[in-house]
């Protein structure tokens, strides 16, 4: 199992990009006692037969890792969801992409820690390739949205330590503002 929720989210985004996605969306919404997550992509998608086996840890389609006989990413996700009394939906179509949605009981004793959101989000934005990644983070009625293309436009690139540090600081400022606004009734800060 992953050490934090951020580890799981990074794995889902990386899987989408490795499936040929050029557009990935990640939405994380926290409400009182519940965490809702949706990851959608326009990658190669999965057939119904592959979807039926995708949550099995002893199955791998062999495309991403030809010599590997197991695929643990979605199996770890299912384990986390079941451990916290949540739910999981997987929808996919060949040539269209994949949508993974899950929710967790945020008050459950087995709820994993969030992890370092700023470092994880920045790392996702820095995965190599030509793609758009849009991340929306909400806590109650407060939130922010970050697009990879906007970060690249502002920073020039996401390949040097300097630009990655600036991106991480920006995400950290959005997280800090989200935490500070919690319960204050301010409007959303969409970027």
pLDDT on residue 88: 94
* Residue 117 binned pLDDT confidence (cut-offs 50, 70, 90): confident
Helical residues (DSSP H) of the chain, grouped into ranges: 5-18, 48-53, 73-83, 117-125, 148-155, 161-181
83 within some domain: yes
Report pLDDT digits (tens) over 143-158.
999 999 999 999 988 9
CATH number at residue 46: 3.30.565
188 within some domain: no
> What is the β-pairing status of strands 87-93 and 142-147?
unpaired
∠ CA 71-74-80 to the nearest 5 degrees?
A: 125
Rg of the Cα atoms in the chain = 17
pLDDT on residue 181: 59
pLDDT on residue 177: 86
117 within some domain: yes
pLDDT on residue 2: 61
Largest Cα span, the chain: 53
pLDDT on residue 74: 82
Distance between CA atoms of 9 and 99, rounded to whole angstroms?
13
Distance between CA atoms of 155 and 57, rounded to whole angstroms?
40
φ, ψ of residue 39 in degrees (nearest 5): -125, 120
**Positive/negative CA dihedral, 65, 68, 73, 78:** positive
189 within some domain: no
CB 106 within 8 A of CB 35: yes
pLDDT at position 189 over 50:
no
Report pLDDT digits (tens) over 59-110.
555 555 444 433 456 888 888 999 999 999 999 999 999 999 999 999 999 9
* Domain membership of residue 168 as a residue range: 5-181
CB 39 within 8 A of CB 100: yes
pLDDT on residue 63: 56
pLDDT on residue 50: 82
190 within some domain: no
127 within some domain: yes
Of 31-45, 48-62, 143-157, the poorest mean pLDDT is in: 48-62
103 within some domain: yes
Distance between CA atoms of 136 and 190, rounded to whole angstroms?
9
pLDDT on residue 188: 41
Q: Provide the domain count of the chain.
A: 1
pLDDT on residue 57: 57
186 within some domain: no
């Amino acid at each position: 199992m992953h050490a934090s929720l951020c580890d799981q989210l990074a794995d889902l985004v990386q899987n989408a990009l490795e499936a040929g996605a050029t557009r990935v969306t990640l939405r994380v919404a926290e409400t009182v006692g519940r965490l809702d997550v949706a990851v959608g992509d326009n990658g190669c998608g999965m057939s119904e037969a592959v979807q039926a086996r995708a949550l099995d840890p002893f199955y791998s389609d062999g495309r991403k890792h030809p010599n590997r006989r197991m695929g643990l990413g979605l199996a770890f996700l299912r384990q986390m969801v079941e451990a916290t009394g949540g739910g999981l939906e997987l929808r996919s179509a060949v040539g269209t992409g994949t949508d993974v949605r899950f929710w967790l009981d945020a008050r459950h004793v087995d709820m994993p820690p969030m992890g370092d959101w700023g470092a994880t989000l920045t790392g996702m934005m820095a995965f190599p390739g030509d793609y758009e990644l849009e991340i929306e983070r909400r806590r109650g009625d407060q939130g922010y949205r970050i697009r990879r293309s906007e970060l690249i436009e502002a920073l020039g690139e996401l390949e040097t330590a300097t630009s990655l540090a600036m991106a991480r600081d920006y995400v950290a400022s959005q997280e800090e503002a989200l935490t500070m606004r919690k319960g204050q009734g301010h409007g959303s800060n969409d970027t």
